[in-house]
Amino acid sequence: MNKKTVCDIDVRGKGVLVRVDFNVPVDETGVITDDTRIRAALLTIQYLIQEGAKVILASHFGRPKGKVNDKYRLTAAGERLAHLLGRPVKKLDDCIGPETEAAVRAMQAGDVVLLENVRFYPEEEKNDPEFARRLAALAHVYVNDAFGTAHRAHASTAGVAAYLPAVAGFLMDKEISIMGKALAAPERPFVAVMGGAKVADKIAVIDNLLAKVDTLIIGGGMANTFFYALGREVGKSLCEKDKADTARELLDKAKASGVRFLLPVDVVVAETLAAGVPTAVVPVDAIPSDKAALDIGPESIQLFAQALKEAKTVVWNGPMGAFETVPFDRGTLGVAEAMAEVQGVSIIGGGDSVAAVEKAGLADRMTHVSTGGGASLEFLEGRELPGVAALADKA
């Protein structure tokens, strides 16, 4: 990577604002179900502690839409970090303001504080310069180690770099290097697998992906938008109906450019998303109007697994179903197993996707487990990520 890293800058005794991605999956009671993203940030944090910096961590968590919301506090993440570091982490109640400034002023070399969720302020996602300046005023140096959020041009991921010397953390450096090497000249067939729930965001990357991949596999919530675009009943399924035109254009473009576009052929439906509810497997043109498609079916697993068997490079983001709730985890587990057998490069990314692969015990069978989902996809598109662009170039 052509960007300066935390090794290229003097941090001793200085306040260092570190943007991390602690947007970790949690269960309905708020308990962290996968701490990969917190563990992935440890190297940078431990290095800064050893170097005698004052470590000021900033992160978002969920999408609280610019309002304080107790459900999206970073308390559990702070506790998990303290446990993993084996030292105290002071979690603050805000990320700017007089109390935050006082707490930061009281820090000693080697101390770690975690600011409250930066998305409690609407200014964060607007990349408001004044908000960025106030965050920057807490520190002398900025380190971006949030690869998972590097595709967002927000105040704490990009804007703040206008006010401080800005360098990459070890995780950011590692992610960009590994992905860059694996995807510069990918061995073919090259397959991308997409699913999950962030349909409106991620449907936008497909256009550019069609110029890169030989096969595109779409499952999970993402697939329903394509079913709807094809004129099918989607019942109560997660579906972005206003993206139907985009979906149709993408299907046409894939056809014209000779990219194989695989959608599920069968799905698992249920009336509600809850453990133990009655379920049925139906063809995709027979989704009942009072039910939701919550997973891909067994024939789809077979179809996707066969495409992965032939692949030499695979990038996967987005679960195939609502895998957190049994039995809607089967599609995701089936594809995870097929990923583990890929004879070539297999990259899986995304908070929930990684959680699913960890849960299946298959993470170490992948070439690379990335902390970024949307970020990996945008990197794969060939875009420069705003969170990386904002950092200082190597001399």
Ligand X SMILES: Nc1ncnc2c1ncn2[C@@H]1O[C@H](COP(=O)(O)OP(=O)(O)O)[C@@H](O)[C@H]1O
Ligand Y SMILES: O=C(OP(=O)(O)O)[C@H](O)COP(=O)(O)O
Q: Which residues are catalytic?
A: 37, 198, 351, 374
**Smallest separation, CB 251 to ligand Y (Å):** 23
- Cα 301 from Cα 23, distance rounded (Å): 29
Sheet with 292-296, strands from edge to edge, namely: 280-283, 266-270, 292-296
Which listed residue (263, 293, 315, 362) binds ligand X by CB under 6 A? 293
* 317 lines the binding site for ligand X (CB under 6 A): yes
Q: Per-residue b/e over 3-14, b at no fewer than 16 CB within 10 Å?
A: bbbbeebebeeb
Can you tell me whether residue 183 is helix, strand or coil? helix
**Smallest separation, CB 59 to ligand Y (Å):** 8
Q: Is the dihedral of CA 67, 69, 71, 75 positive or negative?
A: positive
* 63 lines the binding site for ligand Y (CB under 6 A): yes
Closest residue by Cα to residue 199 from 155, 250, 162, 154? 250
Q: Is the dihedral of CA 217, 219, 225, 228 positive or negative?
A: positive
**Smallest separation, CB 288 to ligand Y (Å):** 29
Is 235 marked as a binding-site residue? Answer: no
> For residues 4 and 119, which CB has a smaller minimum distance to ligand Y in the complex?
119
Which residue matches tokens 């439906």? Answer: 269
> For residues 254 and 292, which CB has a smaller minimum distance to ligand X in the complex?
292
- Cα 294 from Cα 283, distance rounded (Å): 13
Interaction residues for ligand X, span 179-238 (CB under 6 A): 195-198, 220-221, 238
Residue length of the chain = 395
- Cα 208 from Cα 382, distance rounded (Å): 8
Sheet with 368-370, strands from edge to edge, namely: 260-262, 215-218, 190-194, 313-317, 345-349, 368-370
**Smallest separation, CB 148 to ligand X (Å):** 9
* 351 lines the binding site for ligand Y (CB under 6 A): yes
* 152 lines the binding site for ligand Y (CB under 6 A): yes
> For residues 266 and 328, which CB has a smaller minimum distance to ligand Y in the complex?
328
**Smallest separation, CB 321 to ligand X (Å):** 5
Is 119 marked as a binding-site residue? Answer: yes
- Cα 179 from Cα 286, distance rounded (Å): 39
Count of residues engaged in binding ligand X, rule: CB under 6 A: 21
* 175 lines the binding site for ligand X (CB under 6 A): no
Is 352 marked as a binding-site residue? Answer: yes
* 65 lines the binding site for ligand Y (CB under 6 A): no
Stretch binding ligand X (CB under 6 A), from 3-11, 108-116, 314-322, 384-392 = 314-322
Q: What is the DSSP letter of 217?
A: E
Which listed residue (334, 373, 386, 387) binds ligand Y by CB under 6 A? 373
> For residues 165 and 350, which CB has a smaller minimum distance to ligand Y in the complex?
350
Q: What six digits make up the tokens of 70?
A: 């107790």
> For residues 60 and 198, which CB has a smaller minimum distance to ligand X in the complex?
198
Is 195 marked as a binding-site residue? Answer: no
Q: Which does 23 bind (CB under 5 to 8 A by kind): ligand Y, ligand X, none?
A: ligand Y
Q: How far is CA 186 from CA 84, 111, 375, in A?
A: 36, 43, 18
Q: Which does 64 bind (CB under 5 to 8 A by kind): ligand Y, ligand X, none?
A: none
**Smallest separation, CB 202 to ligand Y (Å):** 7
Is 61 marked as a binding-site residue? Answer: yes
Give the residues lining the site for ligand X (CB under 6 A): 195-198, 220-221, 238, 293-294, 317-319, 321-324, 350-353, 373
